[in-house]
Structure 1
Amino acid sequence: MICTEFICIVRNQPRTTWEELVNDMKRAGTTVSKVTVGRTLSHHGFKSRIAQKVPLLKSSHVQAHLKFANDHLDGPEEAWEKVMWSDETKIELFGLNFTRRVWRKKKEELHPKNTIPTVKHGGGNIMLSGCFSAKGTGRLHCIKERMNGAMYCEILSNNLLPSVRALKLGRGWVFQHDNDPKHTARITKEWLCKKHIKVLEWPSQSTDLNPIENL
């Protein structure tokens, strides 16, 4: 009975702590120790792990992601070799990274109950802009000022285009960037059009679809 209750609690509320499990059982009239809790859950494949942080998705985001996947499902793998992936990343200089532990089994790290939704925000950090393709990495640029559309175009001109030439992507290459307001600004769209750069349509709040997330 105790085992069944443990499993039920962590399945429905994986963020439950050791203390909460012990107290829940105590209120139900059963006294158990943390050791018993840990041993029981471990026996059934559960282990306390750090919850994965994922973008907060709306229903429209989910549908857009599904459409993107279906649109490219049957495409040739060689087509991805012509894509120049890009992104900006923030590196925290100070402060603690927020973590939360959850009870889960192996390969359940991306189940909604086992993740922590996140939104983008500012802080003490440095910003980097980079790109890469199947042929290698491109230039890495340190963004020292608050970036706007005009600055983004300058970064693309000074870093993206030389990277494309250095990696010898040739004709027909495709540029990927997300839907950050600076990327979708009028000045950016006009610059990309003027340079005849084909842009890969990208769903909002992409859940790490961009392989640059692994660099």
Structure 2
Amino acid sequence: MKRVRCAQAFLKLNFDLGLGFLDKIVTMDETSVSFFTPESKRGSSQWLPKGSNPSLKFKRQESRKKQMVFSFFDNCDVIFQHYIPMRTSVTAAVFKDVMNMFLKKFKEKRPEMAKRDWYFHFDNAPCHTANSTKEFLAKKGIKVIDHPPYSPDLAPADFFYFPVMKKMLEGVEIVYKSVQKEWTRVGRAIPEDRFREAFRKWVER
């Protein structure tokens, strides 16, 4: 039933605020990005003089290692992205640190929007719903759009942004040092009309 209540509240905001409502929303989520690592193998098929060292051959294979990416965007484009070190747990404390970085970037990139009422959306990950996170957001005066549990179809990051990003990165060999570069490059390649279309579909869902 919470899904119904959240949907009704979202539609009420859309009705009360009119067409400008979608221009006042920032949504975010985290995802993991897989990357490749070079595996060294000593060549054994070639003949070498006694006592010499065989050369190293490098073969790229998919690693199970991943890097976590935080993405914040509105109905125009990406506002801020942050990458946390491997094996770092996404706790409420980590999320608050990332939020502080986002808010600084938000004021730089969307100064007029930051001065007015705006709405923040995220899913029900534990770091988002922790009491300390709620207190942090309330202290900052940030209005949060409630999100129903187990509803990725109502999260633009899940039904639009991350699938598009990962589709565009198919076939691209990403090593650890290039995760940020490639993720940023592809994010900038998504046209504004794709973001606007996704937000319109969000209302229709």
TM-score range, shorter chain: 0.5 to 0.7
Against the structure 1 CA distance between its residues 158 and 126, is the aligned structure 2 distance closer, same or farther, given a 3 Å change threshold? Answer: same
User: Is residue 2:36 matched to residue 1:91?
Assistant: no
Against the structure 1 CA distance between its residues 180 and 166, is the aligned structure 2 distance closer, same or farther, given a 3 Å change threshold? Answer: same
1:159 aligned residue (102, 121, 125): 102
- TM-score normalised by the chain length of structure 1: 0.52
Kindly provide the CA deviation profile for residues 88-144 of structure 1, in whole angstroms up to 9, marking residues without a partner as x. Answer: 0122347xxxxxxxxxxxxxxxxxxxxxxxxxxxx6321100111123311110021
Structure 1: distance between partners of 2:77 and 2:152: 23
C-alpha contact 1:131 1:160 (8 A) present in aligned 2: no
Query: Could you say which structure has the higher helix fraction?
Result: 2
Against the structure 1 CA distance between its residues 159 and 127, is the aligned structure 2 distance closer, same or farther, given a 3 Å change threshold? Answer: same
What are the ranges of 5 or more consecutive residues in structure 2 without an aligned counterpart?
37-63, 162-205
Which one-letter code corresponds to 1:136 in the other structure? Answer: D
What are the ranges of 5 or more consecutive residues in structure 1 without an aligned counterpart?
1-62, 95-122
The residue that corresponds to 2:127 in the other structure is 182
Give the length in aligned residue pairs: 125
Kindly provide the CA deviation profile for residues 184-211 of structure 1, in whole angstroms up to 9, marking residues without a partner as x. Answer: 1122112111111111111111132122
The residue that corresponds to 1:73 in the other structure is 11
Moved over 6 A (4+): none
Structure 1: distance between partners of 2:147 and 2:110: 23
The residue that corresponds to 1:129 in the other structure is 70
C-alpha contact 1:139 1:160 (8 A) present in aligned 2: no
C-alpha contact 2:69 2:82 (8 A) present in aligned 1: yes
Which one-letter code corresponds to 2:98 in the other structure? Answer: I
Taking every aligned residue pair, what percent have the same amino acid on both sides?
29
Structure 2: distance between partners of 1:77 and 1:205: 28
2:118 aligned residue (162, 167, 173): 173
| TM superposition shift of 1:178 | 1.2
Structure 1 segment 201-212 matched on structure 2, within 5 A:
201-212=146-157
- TM-score normalised by the chain length of structure 2: 0.55
Counterpart of 1:85 in 2: which secondary structure? strand
Kindly provide the CA deviation profile for residues 2-30 of structure 1, in whole angstroms up to 9, marking residues without a partner as x. Answer: xxxxxxxxxxxxxxxxxxxxxxxxxxxxx
C-alpha contact 1:175 1:198 (8 A) present in aligned 2: yes
Against the structure 1 CA distance between its residues 185 and 72, is the aligned structure 2 distance closer, same or farther, given a 3 Å change threshold? Answer: closer
User: Is residue 2:142 matched to residue 1:197?
Assistant: yes
C-alpha contact 1:90 1:128 (8 A) present in aligned 2: yes
The residue that corresponds to 2:201 in the other structure is none
Which one-letter code corresponds to 2:129 in the other structure? Answer: T
